[in-house]
C-alpha cells in the first residue's frame, strides 16, 4: 500500500473484512491481490463486528450487515464500505460521508439479470405460462383456456429508461413491439438511438399502451406513481409489470383493476412490504389466474452474483490504491472521470464559491441559498440526470463552504453541510449571453447577496467577468485584494502608495464601475500579504467601503 503522507510504498497491506457470502469471482480478486490481507467472517455477530472493525480499511457486505452510525463510528480506520449489490439501505450514507468513507455499490452487475427477469415476467403473464404449467401438473390438458396474447405489434410503455428500462426496450423491439418511453431525465439522443418514442404525458401514454413496465428507482416522485388514478387511465385490458421496486405501483389499486378487468394481467417481482403478508391484495384467490408473482429474484442469477461481487471488490480495491474507480454512491460526481475542460470549469466554480463567500463574509450573515446557473452547450449537457446536481454546482458550494466551514468541506460532504446549515441549493440552466459557456454563482445571505459570473476562454484561461453587478475582468489566481470604493479622483493612487509603502507589489489591477452609482469595485492581484494593520488603514484612511483579501490556489490553466 502507499503511505498517504510520504507517497512511498509500504509493506502494510489493505485489510479487508468480508461479512457475507460473495460470488467466488469477487473473493478471488481479494485472495489474489498481493497488497490485501483478507478476513472472511460470514455472519459475524454484531458485538464482535464492532470490536474488530477498527482493524480494517474496507468492509464488503451484502444487505445483511447493518453499517449504521454505531458501526461506522466503530470503524475508525475504515476508508471504504463496499456493497455487493445495488441497494445501500443498510449503510448510513450521511454518517459515512461525514467521515470521508467512500461507499461503493455495484449497480450494473445485475442489470442483465433484472432485464431478463422482466422479460420472463412479461412473457409469462401475457402467454399465461405459469397457469398452464400448474394446470398440466394437476393432470389437465386444457389448451383452450390458455390462449394468450402476442407481443408483436403491441405498444409497450417503459417508465424509466435507465439501464434496465433500455435493455427491456431493445428486447421488446426485437419482439416486434412499438416502444414508448417516459423518462424526463433521458436525452432525446438516447431515445432515438434506442428507437423508442419519447412521451411526456404519463397519463396520456398509459391510455395508449398494451403493456406497461416500470424501471424507475423508488423516490418521492416515483412512490405511488402507478396509483389508482394512473390505473384508471391505463388502456382497458393492458398488462402491467413491476420488476423495479415495491411501492411504485399501488398494489391494492392494482388488485382492484385486475378484478374489474381494467388490467388483463400483472406481474410483480417486488412488493411494498417484503415478503408480502398472507392477506396481501395481490395474493387474493380470485386473482390467481391473472397474476405472476416472484419473490424479488430479479438479480438472482449465478452470473449476476459473481458480477456484483467482482464490481464491488475491484472498485473498493482501486479506491484504496488511489486508482480510478466507479460507483461511489456518496460522491456527488467522480472527478477523475471529468475531462480536462470539465475539470477547468470545476476549479473555476470552486473559486467563484470562495470569492462569493469573501464578498459577504463581513456583514452578510448566514447564507440561505446557493444558486448556480449554467449557461452554454458545454455546461448544460442534458445527459446529467435531472435529479442530481452537476459537478460545477457542487464545486461552487464546496468553495463557499471552504471559507465558512473550513478546508475539510470536500465534494462528498458539501451538499450535506449545506442541508444541515439550511442553505437551499438551486441549479438552473440557461441560454448563453456574452460568452459561450458561463457559470453564474449567487450566494444569498440574510443581509447581502454576492453574485459572480465566470467563464473560460478558448485557450483555457479562467476569467471572472462580473462581480456584484460590476463588469470586471480578472483571472482568479494567487493573492488578491478586492475592495469597493467611492469613485473619486486620487483614491486608487492613495491605495497604490499605501501598498507600495508596505512592500506589497500590485501584479494586476482591474476596476469595474457602475454608471451613476459613484462606486467602483476593484480587484488587485498582489505579491506579498496585506497585514491586518494595513487592511485597517486601507479601510479607514482611503475612500473604501469594504475590502477583503483572498488567496486562490489551484491552476488557471493546465
Ligand atoms: P437506472 O438508474 O439506470 O435507471 C432509472 C431510470 O429512471 C433513469 O433513467 C431515470 O432518469 C429514471 N427516472 C427517475 N425518476 C423518474 C421519474 N420520476 N419519472 C420517469 N423516469 C424517472 O436504474 P436501473 O439499474 O435501470 O434500475 C431500475 C429499477 O430496477 C430500480 O428501481 C432498481 O432498484 C430496480 N432493480 C430491481 C432488481 C430486482 O431484483 N427486481 C434488480 C436490479 C434493479
Report the pLDDT averaged over residues 221-239. Answer: 97
294 C-beta closer than 6 A to ligand 1: no
The percentage of residues in the chain with a pLDDT greater than 70, rounded to a whole number, is 96
Band the pLDDT of 474: cuts 50, 70, 90: very high
Look at residue 191 and tell me whether its pLDDT is greater than 90.
yes
DSSP 366: S
Look at residue 259 and tell me whether its pLDDT is greater than 50.
yes
Q: What is the C-alpha end-to-end distance of the chain, expressed in Å?
A: 29
User: Of ligand 1's atoms, which has the minimum distance to the CA of residue 110?
Assistant: 43
In whole angstroms, what is the distance from residue 451 CA to residue 439 CA?
A: 11
Q: Output the pLDDT for position 208.
A: 98
In whole angstroms, what is the distance from residue 360 CA to residue 110 CA?
A: 49
User: Of ligand 1's atoms, which has the minimum distance to the CA of residue 216?
Assistant: 7
CB atoms within 10 A of CB 522: 23
In whole angstroms, what is the distance from residue 398 CA to residue 9 CA?
A: 31
Look at residue 314 and tell me whether its pLDDT is greater than 50.
yes
Look at residue 556 and tell me whether its pLDDT is greater than 50.
no
Determine if the pTM surpasses 0.75: no
Expressed in angstroms and rounded, the spacing between residue 218 Cα and the centre of ligand 1 is: 8
In whole angstroms, what is the distance from residue 274 CA to residue 543 CA?
A: 70
Expressed in angstroms and rounded, the spacing between residue 498 Cα and the centre of ligand 1 is: 62
Report the pLDDT averaged over residues 109-125. Answer: 97
How many residues comprise the chain?
558
The percentage of residues in the chain with a pLDDT greater than 90, rounded to a whole number, is 67
Name the residue of 108, 115, 120, 160 to mutate for ligand 1: max ligand atoms within 8 A of Cβ: 160
E-state strands within 337-412: 367-375
Look at residue 331 and tell me whether its pLDDT is greater than 80.
yes
Look at residue 1 and tell me whether its pLDDT is greater than 80.
no
246 C-beta closer than 6 A to ligand 1: no
Band the pLDDT of 236: cuts 50, 70, 90: very high
What is the distance, to the nearest Å, from the Cα of residue 52 to the centroid of all Cα atoms in its chain?
32
186 C-beta closer than 6 A to ligand 1: yes
Band the pLDDT of 487: cuts 50, 70, 90: confident
Q: Output the pLDDT for position 555.
A: 46
Report the pLDDT averaged over residues 395-401. Answer: 94
Amino acid at each position: 500500500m502507499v503511505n498517504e503522507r510520504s507517497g512511498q510504498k509500504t509493506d502494510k497491506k489493505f485489510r479487508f473484512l468480508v461479512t457475507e457470502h460473495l460470488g467466488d469471482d469477487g473473493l478471488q480478486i481479494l485472495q489474489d491481490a498481493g497488497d490485501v490481507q483478507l478476513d472472511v467472517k460470514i455472519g459475524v455477530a454484531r458485538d464482535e463486528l464492532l470490536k474488530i472493525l477498527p482493524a480494517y480499511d474496507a468492509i464488503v457486505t451484502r444487505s445483511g450487515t447493518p453499517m449504521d452510525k454505531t458501526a461506522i463510528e466503530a470503524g475508525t480506520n475504515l476508508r471504504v464500505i463496499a456493497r455487493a449489490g445495488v441497494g445501500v439501505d443498510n449503510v448510513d450514507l450521511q454518517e459515512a460521508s461525514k467521515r470521508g468513507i467512500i461507499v461503493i455499490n455495484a449497480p450494473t452487475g445485475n442489470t442483465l439479470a433484472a432485464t431478463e427477469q422482466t422479460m420472463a415476467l412479461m412473457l409469462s403473464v401475457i402467454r399465461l405460462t405459469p397457469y398452464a404449467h400448474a394446470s398440466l401438473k394437476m393432470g389437465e390438458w386444457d389448451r383452450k383456456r390458455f390462449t394468450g396474447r402476442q407481443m408483436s405489434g403491441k405498444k409497450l410503455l417503459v417508465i424509466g429508461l435507465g439501464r434496465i428500462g433500455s435493455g427491456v426496450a431493445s428486447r421488446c423491439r426485437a419482439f416486434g413491439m412499438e416502444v414508448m418511453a417516459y423518462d424526463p431525465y433521458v436525452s432525446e439522443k438516447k431515445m432515438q438511438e434506442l428507437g423508442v418514442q419519447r412521451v411526456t404525458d404519463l397519463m396520456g401514454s398509459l391510455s395508449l399502451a398494451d403493456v406497461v413496465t416500470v424501471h424507475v428507482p423508488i423516490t418521492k416522485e416515483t412512490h405511488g406513481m402507478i396509483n389508482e388514478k394512473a390505473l384508471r387511465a391505463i388502456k382497458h385490458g393492458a398488462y402491467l409489470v413491476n420488476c423495479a421496486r415495491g411501492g411504485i405501483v399501488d398494489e391494492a389499486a392494482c388488485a382492484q383493476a385486475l378484478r374489474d378487468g381494467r388490467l388483463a394481467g400483472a406481474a410483480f417481482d417486488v412488493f411494498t412490504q417484503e415478503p408480502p403478508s398472507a392477506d396481501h391484495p395481490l395474493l387474493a384467490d380470485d386473482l390467481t389466474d391473472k397474476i405472476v408473482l416472484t419473490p424479488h429474484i430479479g438479480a438472482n442469477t449465478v452470473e449476476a452474483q459473481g458480477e456484483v461481487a467482482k464490481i464491488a471488490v475491484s472498485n473498493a480495491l482501486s479506491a484504496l490504491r488511489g486508482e480510478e474507480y466507479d460507483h461511489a454512491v456518496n460522491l456527488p460526481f467522480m472527478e477523475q472521470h471529468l475531462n480536462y475542460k470539465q475539470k477547468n470549469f470545476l476549479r473555476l466554480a470552486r473559486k467563484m464559491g470562495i470569492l462569493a463567500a469573501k464578498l459577504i463574509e463581513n456583514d452578510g450573515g448566514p447564507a440561505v441559498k446557493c444558486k448556480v446557473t449554467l449557461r452554454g452547450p458545454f455546461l448544460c449537457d442534458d445527459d446529467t440526470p435531472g435529479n442530481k446536481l452537476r459537478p460545477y454546482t457542487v464545486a461552487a458550494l464546496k468553495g463557499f463552504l471552504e471559507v465558512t466551514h473550513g478546508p475539510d468541506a470536500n465534494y462528498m460532504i458539501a451538499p450535506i453541510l449545506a442541508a444541515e446549515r439550511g442553505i437551499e441549493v438551486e441549479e438552473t440552466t440557461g441560454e448563453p449571453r456574452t460568452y459561450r459557456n458561463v457559470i453564474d454563482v449567487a450566494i444569498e445571505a440574510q443581509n447581502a447577496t454576492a453574485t459572480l459570473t465566470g467563464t473560460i476562454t478558448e485557450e483555457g484561461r479562467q476569467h471572472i467577468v462580473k462581480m456584484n453587478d460590476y463588469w470586471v475582468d480578472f483571472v482568479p489566481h494567487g493573492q488578491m485584494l478586492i475592495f469597493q470604493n467611492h469613485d473619486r479622483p486620487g483614491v486608487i493612487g492613495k491605495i497604490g502608495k499605501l501598498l507600495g509603502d508596505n512592500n506589497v507589489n500590485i501584479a494586476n489591477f482591474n476596476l469595474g464601475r457602475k454608471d451613476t452609482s459613484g462606486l467602483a469595485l476593484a480587484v488587485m492581484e498582489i505579491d506579498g500579504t496585506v497585514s491586518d494593520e494595513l487592511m485597517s488603514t486601507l479601510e479607514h484612511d482611503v475612500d473604501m467601503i469594504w475590502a477583503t483579501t483572498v488567496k486562490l490556489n489551484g491552476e488557471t490553466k493546465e
